[in-house]
């Protein structure tokens, strides 16, 4: 099973991915986490992406696709992957199809987490207070949301047409969203 957790910034993709890893043994591939790790290590890649992330932009397709390709290689043999925050553009989605197909695999399910914009902003504000993540200020968040609608949301009809998209209410508590995801996966198994 290869699953994409899909949704706007701060929808809870990372939060739910971590839980699914614990409960179902998936391997989580989060491009956001990979990019933050690159920054923390002070690598050349980290320096290259820092400004883009702080300004709420999207890192180039070339960079994130290479990161995913590398991880698919390193983690070959995993029972299934959860793609968290990837793909974020049509180019990334096409690349993911190619990368999986070349390994005899495919995307089986896309779980879209639905959350209203004002709730997303409230979550980001709370996370900023708790963790001080630089891109969690209201100005950068509005840029991230704009990029989501421009570049990422167009993937919704593509996956819907393939019949692999399921939508869940992401407005409730972490536990309620988890239950909604489990129910949606069970229904479409």
Please state the φ and ψ torsions of residue 92, each to the nearest 5 degrees: -65, -40
- Report, in Å, the least distance between residue 75 CB and ligand B4P: 17
Please state the φ and ψ torsions of residue 11, each to the nearest 5 degrees: -70, -20
- Report, in Å, the least distance between residue 186 CB and ligand B4P: 19
The yes-or-no answer on residue 19 being catalytic is: no
The yes-or-no answer on residue 133 being catalytic is: yes
Nearer to ligand B4P, 173 or 189 (CB): 173
84: which strand partners? 5, 30
Known binding residue 14? Answer is yes
Known binding residue 16? Answer is no
The yes-or-no answer on residue 13 being catalytic is: yes
Q: Which of 18, 24, 48, 127 is catalytic?
A: 127
Known binding residue 144? Answer is yes
Nearer to ligand B4P, 7 or 110 (CB): 7
The yes-or-no answer on residue 24 being catalytic is: no
Where does the chain have alpha helices with state H?
13-24, 31-41, 44-54, 61-74, 90-101, 117-131, 138-147, 155-162, 174-187
Let me know how long the chain is: 189
Q: Which of 13, 39, 109, 112 is catalytic?
A: 13
- Report, in Å, the least distance between residue 96 CB and ligand B4P: 10
For residues 37-61, one letter each, b for 16 or more C-beta atoms within 10 angstroms of the residue's C-beta and e for the rest, the string is ebbeeeeebbeebbeebeebebbeb
Annotated binding site for ATP: 10-15, 127, 172
Annotated binding site for AMP: 31, 36, 57-59, 85-88, 92, 133, 144
Return the active site residues: 13, 88, 127, 133, 144
């Amino acid at each position: 099973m290869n699953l994409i957790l899909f949704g706007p910034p701060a929808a809870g993709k990372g939060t739910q991915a971590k839980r699914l890893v614990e409960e179902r043994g998936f391997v989580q591939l989060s491009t956001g986490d990979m990019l933050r790790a690159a920054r923390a290590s002070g690598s050349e890649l980290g320096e290259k992406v820092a400004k883009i992330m702080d300004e709420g932009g999207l890192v180039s397709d070339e960079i994130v696709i290479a990161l995913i390709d590398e991880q698919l290689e390193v983690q070959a043999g995993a029972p299934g992957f959860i793609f968290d925050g990837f793909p974020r553009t049509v180019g990334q989605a096409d690349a993911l199809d190619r990368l999986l197909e070349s390994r005899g695999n495919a995307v089986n399910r896309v779980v879209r987490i639905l959350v209203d914009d004002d709730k997303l902003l409230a979550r980001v504000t709370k996370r900023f207070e708790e963790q001080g993540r630089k891109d969690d200020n209201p100005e950068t968040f509005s840029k991230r949301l704009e990029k989501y609608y421009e570049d990422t949301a167009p993937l919704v009809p593509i996956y819907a047409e393939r019949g692999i998209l399921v939508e869940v209410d992401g407005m409730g508590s972490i536990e309620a969203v988890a239950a909604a995801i489990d129910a949606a996966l069970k229904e479409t198994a």
